[in-house]
Every structure is written in C-alpha cells, then in structure tokens.
Amino acid sequence: MTAAVRDRRVLLSELEQLVSEERNPRTMGIDLMSTPEIVATINAEDRLVPEAVGKTLPQVAQAVDAIVAAFGKGGRLVYIGAGTSGRLGVLDASECPPTFGVPPTMVVGVIAGGLGALVSAVEGAEDNAEGGAADLRAIDLTNRDVVVGIAVSGRTPYVIGALNYAKSLGAVTVGLTCNPDSAIAGMADISIAPLVGAEVVTGSTRLKSGTAQKLVLNMLSTASMIRIGKTYQNLMVDVRTSNEKLLARAVRIVMQATDCPEQVAEAALQRTGNDVKLAILTILTGLEIEAARAAMTKADGFLRRALEAGA
C-alpha cells in the first residue's frame, strides 16, 4: 500500500465521523423534485440553522468578551480559514471598517492560498499546516490578538497549524466548526460548534454550515463593536462617509438620533468633518466642537456616556 493510498484511507475514515459529511434522509430524492419542491426543501433545512446557532450563544458571548479584552490591549481579531470558511472570515473583516469606522488592521481576515483564493480555489492550500502558521507570522501575530480558526469539519490542517502557532504565543484561540468533537474544537480555548446536521447536498458545507458560520461571525464582530462604543442605541455612529450612500446614511443617523431636520444634520456634519458622533453630541448638548471632542475623549469614545456626562 502506497503512502498516498494510506493517507486517503485515513481521510475517508475521518470524513465518516463528521456530522457535516452525513447524508440527509430528508433530501435523498431531491433530484426527483420540482423546482418549487427543491427550494422549499432547502428553505426548510435552512430554518434549522438559527436554532443550532442559538445553542452556542454562551460560547459566542465568551468569545466576544475575549475579543473586547483584546481590543482594550491594542490587540486584533484575526479570522483564518480555507475555502468557504476563509472567504466568510475575510468578508466579515472587510465590512468592519466602513460599518464601524475602525482601521482595517483591527479585524483581519486570512485565507489559505492568499487573496486569490477568494475567487478561485487554490488546490492543496488547506492541507498545509505550516502555511497557517506562516500566514499568522506574516501579519505579526502577538499574544494580544484573538485568533478565530474557521473550519466546518474541524480538521483542516491549515487551520490547525494556525491555531497551534497562536497558542504557542499565548493568544486566545477560538474554534468555529460544525463538528463538536473535532480536533479544532478540542484544541481551541473557546469552541463554537453549531450542530446544523447533514447538508441538503451531502458534504456541500457552503449551505447550512456556511450559513451558521456567517451568523456566528456576524455576532462576534457586531457584538464586540457594540461593546467598545461603536453604536449609540442601535445606530452606526462611527460609520465612515466614504461614498454618497454612506454620507446620506450619516445624515439620516444624525436625524434619527436627534430628531432634527435634514438641514440641521447636514450642517452639523459639515462643521464636524462628517464625524457622526460629534454631530449628534453638538446638537443634543449645544457644546462647541472642541468641547464636544474633549467630552468624547473623556468618555472613551462612547457617545451615550458623553451625553450622560453632559446631561
């Protein structure tokens, strides 16, 4: 028996143990269904995902607290994964700067095979454990960072290598998988493993598993940003006005927060250099810009605290 055959048999044995690789008894006849029946079946399976994610909320909250603590020490949130898992991490990271006004270095997405893997599969990249460690070294990972290893199977060598390297530095590690008894779930400091069950198409983990990952990543980044003062009420008060749509959104946010007319919101944004928090604070308190800026600094960037202090 050759080494390649032996390795393949080991992999087949491992896949046999994964929940995400099981066949779904509810979709065995999906190739005989009409189009309305197919989409109804997919939708019915998708409805199982939020419930599965809901059972992991204690672990999600634990991860959020670790991320907030990391941010407080100047650390970063680092997502790392291969294939669909890696793409979802990069997507979530890329949406944080425009949404919450944070620098692109604060939430980082790393994918096996590099950015080219976002649009084309890079064969073999996920099997390279040293590649995961090397990619974290390339971004100068430190023990202040939190590393979220994303892999549906929980056995991807690239992610295992990355988490091993992160742990060797003393960084907090989070494993986001859909197999609770996997290697990654066992090695991570915090394991988030929504059990979504077998996929509509066997092994196509971009479906329910990918949806579960997206829901968890949404919570990790959004809850962490809320905890560090990036919202006021449920408004994105640190939004960057980098295009006309976002500038219009900024005007609307100021109007919603202060109940002021459009012209007043626009004038306040012009005075503050499109700083939504300062615009709201100056309207609601009557403070001059420099005094408002000092109040925001004293409140550590939390608009609600600044408003309460000035009340």
| Tens digit of each residue's pLDDT (9 = 90 or more) over 179-215 | 999 999 999 999 999 999 999 999 999 999 999 999 9
Instruction: Answer yes or no: is 301 within a domain.
Output: yes
Going by pLDDT thresholds of 50, 70 and 90, the confidence category of residue 241 is: confident
Which residue segment(s) compose the domain that 81 sits in?
Answer: 48-227
Tokens of 271: 């005075």
Q: What does pLDDT average to over the chain? A: 92
Q: What share of the chain is helix, strand, coil (3-state, %, to 5)?
A: 60, 10, 35
Whole-number pLDDT of residue 10:
46
- The residue among 83, 151, 149, 146 whose CA lies nearest residue 119 is 83
133 and 209 together in one domain: yes
pLDDT digits (tens, 9 = 90+) for 22-71: 999 999 999 999 999 999 999 999 999 999 999 999 999 999 999 999 99
pTM: 0.91
Q: Has residue 155 been placed in a domain?
A: yes
Task: Determine which one of 14, 21, 95, 266 is catalytic.
Answer: 95
Give the whole-angstrom CA distance, residue 167 versus residue 180: 20
Strands 172-176 and 190-192: parallel
290 is catalytic: no
Cα 173 from Cα 78, distance rounded (Å): 10
What's the pLDDT band for 2 if we cut at 50, 70, 90? Answer: low
Q: State the pLDDT at residue 7.
A: 42
Mean pLDDT computed over 91-106: 96
Sheet holding 77-81, edge to edge: 107-111, 77-81, 146-150, 172-176, 190-192
Long-range contacts, 99-102 (Cβ 8 Å, 24+): 99/225, 99/236, 99/239, 100/225, 100/230, 100/236, 100/238, 100/239, 101/230, 101/238, 101/239, 101/240, 102/225, 102/230, 102/238
* In-domain check, residue 13: no
**Is residue 95 among the annotated active site residues?**
yes
Number of domains in the chain: 2
Q: What distance in Å separates the CA atoms of residue 119 and residue 121, rounded to the nearest whole number? A: 7
289, two tokens:
């810009």
Share of the chain above pLDDT 70, in %: 94
Closest CA to 20 of 217, 208, 191: 208
Examine the fold and report which residue of 185, 201, 227 is the final residue of a domain before the chain moves on: 227
| Same structural domain, 91 and 206 | yes
In a domain, residue 28? The reply is: no
Give the model's confidence band at 73: pLDDT under 50 very low, under 70 low, under 90 confident, else very high. Answer: very high
List 51, 126, 199, 290, catalytic entry:
126
Same domain, 285 and 222: no
> Within this chain, do residues 146 and 259 fall inside the same structural domain, yes or no?
no
- Inform me whether the pLDDT recorded for 83 exceeds 90: yes
